[in-house]
């Protein structure tokens, strides 16, 4: 679709998969996404998504980080012992 991006297609494909599930299960009532059988939803969505490779990476939240606001801070950013804690993404 001209003028759209990958995120639009990803959302539309998953909504389409969920709609197909709803049509096939009309008496299941209200469900949150975590309650849906993801295999059935992805069966409909995958043709629109294309390949979704899983590739290992050594990326961490602090790798190659540039602190654009370092001059404005009164104190140094705290260094998290565990870079995978949420505060490491904020610092």
Condensed to tens digits (0 to 9), the pLDDT of residues 39-78 reads 999 999 999 888 888 899 888 777 777 777 777 766 655 5
In this structure, is residue 1 part of a structural domain? no
**16/44 same-domain check:** yes
Distance in angstroms (rounded) separating the CA atoms of residues 1 and 10: 12
Based on the fold, state whether residues 44 and 71 are members of the same structural domain.
Answer: no
Phi-psi region of 81 (alpha: psi -120 to 50; beta: other; left: phi over 0): alpha
User: 3-9 long-range contacts, Cβ below 8 Å, gap at least 24?
Assistant: 9/48, 9/49
**Dist. CA 62–CA 89, nearest whole Å:** 8
Number of structural domains (the chain) is 2
Q: What is the predicted pLDDT for the residue at 11?
A: 92
Same domain as 45, residue 61: no
Residues 35 and 63 in one domain: no
Q: How far apart are CA 80 and CA 89, in angstroms?
A: 10
Do 44 and 62 belong to one domain? Answer: no
Q: Which range of residues forms the domain containing residue 80?
A: 57-91
């Amino acid at each position: 679709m001209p003028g759209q991006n990958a995120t639009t297609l990803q959302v539309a494909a998953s909504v389409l998969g969920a709609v197909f599930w709803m049509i096939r299960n009309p008496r299941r009532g209200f469900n949150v996404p975590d309650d849906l059988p993801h295999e059935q939803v992805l069966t409909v969505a995958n043709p629109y998504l294309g390949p979704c490779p899983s590739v290992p990476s050594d990326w961490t939240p602090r790798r190659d980080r540039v602190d654009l606001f370092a001059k404005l801070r009164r104190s140094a950013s705290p260094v998290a012992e565990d870079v995978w804690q949420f505060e490491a993404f904020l610092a």
